[in-house]
Amino acid sequence: MVIKILGPGCPKCNELDKRAREVIKEMGVDATIEHVTDIKKIMEYPVVLTPGLVIDGKLVFSGRVPTRKEITGFITSALAGK
């Protein structure tokens, strides 16, 4: 699984990065997390507001920092192939 955090490095983007890493560790999921700060690369996704959360190439959330429970749900759905 590849997870990307989209954002220029603002506090909210950094918080999403931290939460995602914590959730992955707690779930025991084999995943790579990449923090994408290059605006050109961020614009490759249909994100209007950062931070954005991309799982396996699909933008699943953007605009605010999702809760740990929400992140867990996004990862669980991705693992189930939804």
Domains in the chain, please, with CATH?
2-79 (3.40.30.10)
**Nearest Cα to Cα of residue 26 among 77, 71, 57, 80:** 71
Phi, psi (degrees; rounded to nearest 5) at 40: -65, -40
How far, in Å, CA of 20 to CA of 71, rounded?
7
Phi, psi (degrees; rounded to nearest 5) at 20: -60, -45
How far, in Å, CA of 20 to CA of 9, rounded?
15
Active site residues: 10, 13
pLDDT of the residue at 43: 94
Prediction pTM value: 0.93
Residue-wise pLDDT tens digits, 23-73: 999 999 999 999 999 999 999 999 999 999 999 999 999 999 999 999 999
> Interhelix angle for 11-27 vs 68-79, to 10°?
60
Model confidence at 82, in pLDDT bands (50, 70, 90)? low
Mean pLDDT value across residues 74-81: 94
